[in-house]
Structure formats: structure tokens, C-alpha cells
A and B are shown apart, each in its own frame.
Chain A
Amino acid sequence: MGGSGSRLSKELLAEYQANPFKERICRVFSTSPAKDSLSFEDFLDLLSVFSDTATPDIKSHYAFRIFDFDDDGTLNREDLSRLVNCLTGEGEDTRLSASEMKQLIDNILEESDIDRDGTINLSEFQHVISRSPDFASSFKIVL
């Protein structure tokens, strides 16, 4: 195999055009140097992580990497605000106001930041995900 054949660029992932995290998914799973396209094996990795039978540890690990927009190993306020903007929609009028965003991020950090340093690291993230009842059913792709 080896992935020398066709590659999927992120524009061609037609099914996931509606997904606000499509660019992050491409970056996380791609093994090419430019990180802009997926080989067949990368695509297999993607499907394996998002399948029903993947363990919650694997899913939370990859979810952390997808949500870490600046790739620094922690989720800081900037990451969280970009995450919320992805969830609420792309237009200018769909974003939350600045005060609402601040209130929301304060609440999130209060719930998940155990050591009170203003960022969420991988173990805190996995801890909070283990208590989240919706995670397993939403973080999956059904083909």
C-alpha cells in the first residue's frame, strides 16, 4: 500500500464539507509534510478513531488534538474561543458576544481546569470527557 496512490485533499472530502472541524481533522490525521491531504491509510486512521469500537481513551486523545487549534499541547482561552466559534456557526452574526464568550469560557475553565492555571491539558481534558455522557455518541462517524 504505502499511500503512494491518490490522496484526498481537504476540498475533496465532500461528505465533511458541513463539518466545522474539517481543517483540523485534516491537519491532525495527515502524515504528509504539508499536512493538507490524507492518504488512504490516514483516512483509515480517521475512520478507526471515529468508529463505534474505538476506546474512549483514543477518542479523547484525538479530540484533544483536534480542538487544540494552535498545536501547543494545551487548550488555552484562544483555543476555546475558536472552538466555540466553530460550534456556533461561521457567519459574523452567529457568534456570541464578547461578554457571553467570556462568561462561557470562565464556566468551562471552572469545570475542567483542575490546577487553575488557565489552560486545559490532556489529562484534565480526558478527565472531563470521561464524565461527559454525550461524547461517545457524538464523536463518531457512521458510514
Chain B
Amino acid sequence: MSESSGRALQPGRPSRQPAVHPENLSLDSSCFSSPPVNFLQELPSYRSIARRRTTVHSRDKQSGTLLKPTDSYSSQLEDRIAENLSSQSLRNYALNISEKRRLRDIQETQMKYLSEWDQWKRYSSKSWKRFLEKAREMTTHLELWREDIRSIEDIQCTVYPVSSSGLIYFYSYIIDLLSGTGFLEETSLFYGHYTIDGVKFQNFTYDLPLAYLLSTIASLALSLLWIVKRSVEGFKINLIRSEEHFQSYCNKIFAGWDFCITNRSMADLKHSSLRYELRADLEEERMRQKIAERTSEETIRIYSLRLFLNCIVLAVLGACFYAIYVATVFSQEHMKKEIDKMVFGENLFILYLPSIVITLANFITPMIFAKIIRYEDYSPGFEIRLTILRCVFMRLATICVLVFTLGSKITSCDDDTCDLCGYNQKLYPCWETQVGQEMYKLMIFDFIIILAVTLFVDFPRKLLVTYCSSCKLIQCWGQQEFAIPDNVLGIVYGQTICWIGAFFSPLLPAIATLKFIIIFYVKEWSLLYTCRPSPRPFRASNSNFFFLLVLLIGLCLAIIPLTISISRIPSSKACGPFTNFNTTWEVIPKTVSTFPSSLQSFIHGVTSEAFAVPFFMIICLIMFYFIALAGAHKRVVIQLREQLSLESRDKRYLIQKLTEAQRDMRN
């Protein structure tokens, strides 16, 4: 922020480049009609620009622009270069190739007059820069899926002859694979496989319980750091602008055309999407003006209507949560029945009941929300964002409801069965594994649904549209549009499941990685071959921050059940690495107590209240300081902008007076 405002305000820089013809000067062109004003070329600001056209300055990298010389003052060029040798790379000059070549020749002849030390310095800095560039190129090659993204960019920059017992084994195998029970339960996929014994090496023992807990915490902390880092980059861009609305007209006009487009039809599409976007923004602005002019009684009416509709939204959410709760309870109670007592489909249906209910709810509620929001009379941009926010909340809260239902079932007991172990050990001897199984089922079901929708809905739709183009109904329905918000929310949903399940099922992140890789290729294929581009454009830049924010919300929602289960619910006594501890968290205090006493007292001091409260207060003070600083900077920027416009008005006034004086003198 400071560097760009500094650039605009450097002393000697013109606030305008004066044109040669005074008729083009400004809105006040009528004042300058008769005599050509030639003193403009004597203004200090104009001369510094003209001098800069033919000289080479040794500036820092960022402001190394040069105007293209309209007349080649080659002798002046060499004189100036002789004055100050530039160590800047030729790349930063805005000249064409023949002039850059001349400049390079001059620089090389200048090199001869340097001392040995300077020559070596130049040479080493050049080689270092070349090395850095090669390294950067190498890392971009490693970027995941670069080729695929390029190809999408190409289209548009800015993609048993068996016995019956064998049959039963096969069915049970499939059921086990899909629900994480049976043979999968014993593998390292789930919590129950890990034991409390450490792994013994020569000199020390690898403490497995501690490692298990700490690796989960470390992976979550890394995710948090990475998300915060990425969202801060996007946030900085939005923070600089002082406008309320996210979309900037200048961004749309000056950076609107995607120069990668070479296809005629893509170009037409881009034209129409730009038209649509501009018209929508202008419409939104007119609507905002209309809103500002609302009378007070209209405002009251609108707000009461919005309150009522929000209550309806809450009621819908409550109904969905209750449905999920009932489905989870039902599924948990009936899961224990024997396989051969039930039909294959019914057993699987009951196992997957929570996932099915969640998916149905996530499918129906966006449509309800889209209908409701039309009555709330918001501006179009805000409408879209509020709908997405509501859908996100719905998706993430459903997972939480599922987890809390499980938690309540695990810790609830009718009679005194809980007193022995602290949890319901009759129904849930190894409760962590069962929670892990639920997460595993959610993930597998999500994966199956995405594949099924892409293969069995999008693909036939495209076939129908291509081959049955005579049918009016199908033409109206049209091809699938690739809806970016829905797909991103799907990814956030999958990632939240992965985070919650990471503790209970350590291999779940690996499965999630595999799942995302497969989904990427499936979606890319679907995008390239079955979808048509949406006429409503979607700006990636300002939505990046929004989606990272949603991911952050998902991470925070995932941390809550984990903290509760690690620190409150007693760990299983029948399986897992924490059988000897009361709760999972206890392994850390026990490890700390094995440290040397000085380190112990240090750790106790750092985690005590006497340290935490002053630390918190200092952090608050530092935050308030930065907020005040930012406010002061904003005020200074506003003042400077006003001052700039006043200076420009003064200049125009003086020019006007001067031309009048000249005219009077001539008459």
C-alpha cells in the first residue's frame, strides 16, 4: 500500500502528463481554444518525464519503468548511462528489442571501465539471478496438475461359479469394505489396531501413544497455518480497497479481457459474459441507491419479513438436524444384527442411513434457500453469498450433529453401566473405532455419490442434448453447467470429514487424498466433455478468500468434536494405545512428568494462569495498536488524495489565468 501510494506521490513526478495539444487537456478545454500553450513544456514535471524518456536511472526494481523514446536521443542516452551505471536487469525496461540490444552493448562497454571487484560483483549477481530463475522454473514444473490446468486454461485462460457360501463371503466382503467393519476393523485403518506398546529400537523406545496424539495435533496445526497464510494473501487485496462492494469496475474493465482466448466461440462467450457482468453490477448499484432511498415504513416491513424468513430457515435447519439425529440413533441400534438375518440391501441401507439422510438434506436445502432468498430483497451479489453461506453452514453442521449424536450415545447409559469405565462399554467396547467407521462410511458414500452423479446424470444428459436435439424439453434443460460454488463446497465437506476422522482412523487422510485425486480427473473430464460454460461469470479472485474462509470454518468445526473426545470422553479400555490412561490427553502430562525438573517447572509456569492472562492482555494490546495504526494510515491516504485533487485544480486554474493574461497581452 505504501509503495504504490509513494509511487504516485514522488516529488517531481507529474500528476498528469501534459499533452502537447492543449485542446486535449481536460474538461475545461473550452478555455484553451485559441493560443497554443507552450509553457507547458517548461514545467518541471513535464521535463522530468521527458528526461526520463532518454535516460537510464538506477532505481529499485519495482519502479523501473521507462517510456519508449519517441525520438532517439542516442547521444544523450550514452551520456546519461555514463553517469550512473545501472545494475538493473534489462528485463525491467519497457523498450523494444533493438533498443535493449543497444543498451546491453553500452552496459558491456561500460563494464570494461570498472574495477576488478565491481566486475566480479556484477558477474556473480547475474549468475545468482539466473540460478534463481532456473530454480523457480523447476518448482513450477513440479506444481501438481499443471498440465491439466493448462489444458483447461487453453480453452479459457484467465480443467463364483461359486457356491452359496462363497456368495455370502463375497457379500460380506463388500459390506465390510463399504462400512469399515469386519476385516477392515483389524487393520491399521482404525484406531483399534494400535497398541499401547512402544516400538523398541536400540537406544530408545518410540512411544506410540504420544506419537499418535502429537501427530494428529501437528497435522491439524499445519493445516491451520497453511489456510491462514493463503487467506491472508487474498485478504490483503480486499483490505486495501476502501469500497464496500467486492467487485471493482476497474478490475473488470482493465483486466476483463482474457488474452489467452483464441477461439471465436470462446471469445463470443467472453463478450456476452462481460456484458452480463457489467450490466448486473450497474443494476446492483442502481438497486443500492434505491435501497438507500427507502422510506422508514418500507424498511420496517422489509426487516420484519427478513426476520420471519430467517426463522423459517432456522426451522428447516432444525428439522434436518432432527432427522439426522433420528437416523443416526436408528442406525446405531440396528447395526449389530447378523448378516444372514437380513437381506443384503437392507443391511447396507441401515449402515448408510445417516450418510443418505445427510446427502438428501444437502440436496434439498439449497433449493429451499434459493426460493426463500428471493423474497428477502437483497442485492444480487449479497444474495449469492448469503445462499452459499447458508448451504455451507448446513453441510458442516450436519457432520457435527452426527458426531455429537454418536458422542451422546457413547456416554449415555440407562443404568450403572457407565460407572466402570466412564462410557457405555457394553454397546461401544471400542468407541473410537466406531466413530472412525462412521467417518469412513461418510467419505466412501460421498465419493460414490459424486462418481454416480457425474457418470449417470451428466453424461447421459450430454448425450441426450447432442442426439435428441429435436425434443424441445431436452433443449430447454440443456447441458450441465459447471457450478463452481457447489463443487468447492463439496471439496470443503470432504476435507472436514477427513479432519474429523483423522484421529479415529489414521489412514483416512491417505484415502481422502486418493479420493480427491480420482475426483479431480473425473471432474476434469466432465468439465471438458459434458459441461457448457455458465453464462453467469464467476470471478475467482475475490471468491478465493471466501472459500478459504469456509475451509477455515470447516477446520474450526472439526476441532471442536476432537477436543471434546480427546479431553473429556474416557478412552476405550478394550483397545487402542490409550488403554492405560483415563483420557487420551493424559499421556501428555505423564510424559511431561518424566522430563528433568527444571524443564518441568518451566512448562508448568508457561501453562499456568499467572502466565496466560498477562500474555493474553499483551496480545490484545498489540492488536489494538495495529488497528489504530491502520486507521491512521487510512486517514492519511484520504487526506493525501484530497490534496492531490486540490493541487490539480490549482494548476488548471493557474493555466487558465495565464492563457487569459496572454490573450489580453496580445490584444
Contact = CB atoms under 8 A, between A and B. Distances in A.
Interface string B48-78: 0000000000000111110100000000000
Interface in B611-667: 641, 644-645, 647-649, 652
A44 to B, nearest CB: 6
Contacts of A55: 61, 64, 91-92
Contact of A89 (B237, B271, B279): B271
Interface in B12-48: 13-17, 19, 21, 24, 26-27
Interface in A65-96: 67, 72-74, 76, 80, 83-84, 86-89, 94, 96
Nearest to B150: A142
A123 B7 contact: yes
B94 interface: yes
Contacts of A89: 268, 271-272, 275
A33 interface: no
B304 interface: no
Interface stretch (B249-257, B448-456, B547-555): B249-257
A84 B272 contact: no
Given A17-B264, A142-B157, A58 B94 contact: yes
Contact of A129 (B255, B275, B285, B645): B255
A35 interface: no
B259 interface: yes
Contact of A19 (B13, B17, B259): B259
B96 interface: yes
Given A18-B262, A116-B645, A41 B98 contact: yes
Nearest to B645: A116
A132 B254 contact: yes
B94 A108 contact: no
Chain A binding site: helix, strand, loop or mixed by DSSP? helix
A121 B263 CA distance: 33
A16 B649 CA distance: 42
A138 interface: yes
B98 A31 contact: yes
Interface string B315-339: 0000000000000000000000000
A123 B24 contact: no
Given A18-B262, A138-B258, A61 B285 contact: no
Chain A interface size, as a band, is: 35 or more
A87 B645 contact: no
Interface residues of B, number: 75
A115 to B, nearest CB: 4
A8 to B, nearest CB: 15
B171 to A, nearest CB: 51
Contacts of A21: 257
A41 B96 contact: yes
A119 B13 contact: no
Contact of A140 (B4, B14, B157): B157
A86 to B, nearest CB: 8
Contacts of A119: 16, 26
A9 interface: no
B291 interface: no
Central interface residue in B4, B97, B254, by most chain A CB within 10 Å? B254
A118 B253 CA distance: 17
B158 interface: yes
Contacts of B286: 103
A11 B94 CA distance: 26
Contact of B65 (A54, A61, A128): A61
Contacts of A63: 254
Contacts of A37: none
Nearest to A17: B264
Interface of B: 4-5, 7-8, 13-17, 19, 21, 24, 26-27, 61-65, 67, 91-92, 94, 96-98, 133, 150, 153-154, 157-158, 237, 240-241, 243, 248-251, 253-264, 266-268, 271-272, 274-275, 278-279, 282, 285-286, 539-542, 641, 644-645, 647-649, 652
Please list the 4 inter-chain residue pairs (A to B) with the smallest Cβ-Cβ separation, ordered nearest first: A115-B648, A18-B267, A133-B541, A135-B255
6 contacts: A19-B259, A19-B267, A74-B24, A94-B275, A100-B282, A141-B259
Given A50-B259, A118-B26, 13 more contacts: A44-B97, A61-B65, A72-B19, A73-B17, A73-B19, A87-B271, A89-B272, A108-B250, A114-B8, A126-B7, A131-B241, A132-B255, A140-B157
Interface of A: 15-21, 29, 31, 41-42, 44-45, 50, 53-55, 57-58, 61-63, 67, 72-74, 76, 80, 83-84, 86-89, 94, 96, 100, 103-104, 107-108, 111-112, 114-119, 121-135, 137-142
